[in-house]
Amino acid sequence: MLRRLNVHILLQAIAAVYLIAFVSWGIQAQGLIGSHGILPAGDFLAAVHGQLGRAAYWNCPTVFWLNSSDGALRAGWILGALCALTAMLAPWNGVVRGAFAGCLILWLSLCAVGQDFLSFQWDVLLLEAGFLAIFADDSPVRIWLFRWLIFRLMFYSGVVKLLSHDPNWRNLTALHYHYWTQPLPTPLAWYMEQLPVWFQQICTAFTLFAELIVPFLFFAPKSIRSVAAVIVIVLQVFILLTGNYTFFNLLTITLTLFLFIDPAPAPTGRRHLAVSIALIAFIGIVSGCVTLQMFSVDIPGESALLRTVEPLRIVNSYGLFAVMTTERPEIVVEGSNDGATWQAYEFPYKPGNLRRAPPIVAPYQPRLDWQMWFAAQGNYQSNRWFVGLMLRLLQGEPSVTRLLQYNPFPKAPPKYIRAREYLYRFTKFGEPGWWTREERGEYFPAIGLK
């Protein structure tokens, strides 16, 4: 199969990831950023313009400045999905490049108005891959740019773990916590967590090796480069099987497959050469500044350059789980009509019911469930979207309640709502259910609309 790999096939795979991303987002968009959603896009754009004036158009680049209605938001993701389909099915020519340009513009537009719900690293990784896809061919320079992207993704992910000075990475115990503290574990994660600490330390060492050492082999001769690619793919499959990380692992594997591609002789046209030089200069300078910033090295003009290009999100820094969480707080939202008897809302994928198995949901991303994990790491004051969620539940907003698995108030919304915090942990062999928990206390005080 690897012998049949070519740039067009990998571009089709990137387009397939775009299709997954657009459809996955579109299913949830109205409840998240619709006019009656948790964080309405129209209100957000009005606030940005009120604060920044004309500078808002550059700092928040989106076609939804023209129209941010529910219909426009729906048309945005549908048109994006059609562009992705075109890039998947059309012959490799100018049509494909135009389709990728459409994917890039529309996904960037959604990321700009998606606020907390479209702020994940795979969202910007998809933008960066889409940008390169517009110019992709099998010439050495443009193949090299994809290799440079996968290098930065993997190497930065390892560097942030060391720069954080987190002892769990340094003493190789991070995976002892990871399986049950990650946002959305799979059933296999439960079984992996049962394995002894020494095995978890070996897996942690392998992760650091794959992220810190292996990336430097991406620029070696093909035989060595291919071994490096296999190591990265093994790591990504392992992550995919134990955690629901949306389309991230599929996209990373696709980018890694560029390491198997043998470039063709470079075209000699002046236009091709000029574009290649411009791409190298832009990506090289910006990614260099990002790297220096990671290591706290300042050079004149660096910060100004990064602030200028940052809104475009086409050259980014990466790095997940720099600090490993060692506890799993979970938020349980409850409603009541009398202030005495409380009933819990159930989210479809995040831990709640102790006997419900962890889900297998990737490459779909339930973005509200994901944000609940982040909210539990802090407080509601630093997660303004959570207040919006509580308000919409008090109002009984259908677009929001559809994002839940179980609404205990299907006929009319409750008079009061609150949130409690619990510490969850995987059960052990022989214990009932998948999770055990203990109550920590109040997360959000009981309130009513009045």
Segment 43-54, tens digit of pLDDT: 999 999 999 999
Residue 24 near residue 100, CB atoms below 8 Å: no
Q: Which tokens is 224 given?
A: 């060595």
Q: What is the arithmetic mean of pLDDT over 196-200?
A: 95
Total Cβ atoms within 10 A of residue 42? 18
Name residues whose C-beta falls within 8 Å of residue 191's C-beta, 6 or more positions apart in sequence.
none
Total Cβ atoms within 10 A of residue 120? 21
pLDDT digits (tens, 9 = 90+) for 227-260: 999 999 999 999 999 999 999 999 999 999 999 9
> Is 183's pLDDT higher than 60?
yes
pLDDT confidence of residue 97: 94
Question: Domain residues of the chain, as ranges?
Answer: 1-119, 138-324, 329-447
> Is 301's pLDDT higher than 60?
yes
pLDDT digits (tens, 9 = 90+) for 404-431: 999 999 999 999 999 999 999 999 999 9
- Of the chain, the end-to-end C-alpha distance in Å amounts to 64
How deeply is 198 buried, as exposed, middle or buried, from its count of CB atoms within 10 A (0-12, 13-18, 19+)?
Answer: exposed
User: CA separation (Å) from 291 to 134, 157, 163, 232, 255?
Assistant: 25, 12, 12, 21, 20
pLDDT digits (tens, 9 = 90+) for 312-359: 999 999 988 999 999 999 999 999 999 999 999 999 999 999 999 999
Residue 127 CA to chain centroid, in angstroms? 11
Annotate 62-101 with DSSP letters as a single string: -GGGS--SHHHHHHHHHHHHHHHHHHHHS-SSHHHHHHHH
Sheet containing 329-336: give its strands across.
Answer: 343-344, 329-336, 416-426, 435-447
- Split at pLDDT 50, 70, 90, the class of 2 is low
pLDDT confidence of residue 1: 53
- Split at pLDDT 50, 70, 90, the class of 268 is low
Residue 292 CA to chain centroid, in angstroms? 24
- Split at pLDDT 50, 70, 90, the class of 115 is very high
> Is 3's pLDDT higher than 70?
no
- Ranking 3-7, 86-90, 242-246, 439-443 by mean pLDDT, the lowest is 3-7
pLDDT confidence of residue 54: 95
Q: Which tokens is 28 given?
A: 């949830």
Nearest to 349 by CA among 371, 328, 334: 371
Residue 351 gets which letter from DSSP?
A: S
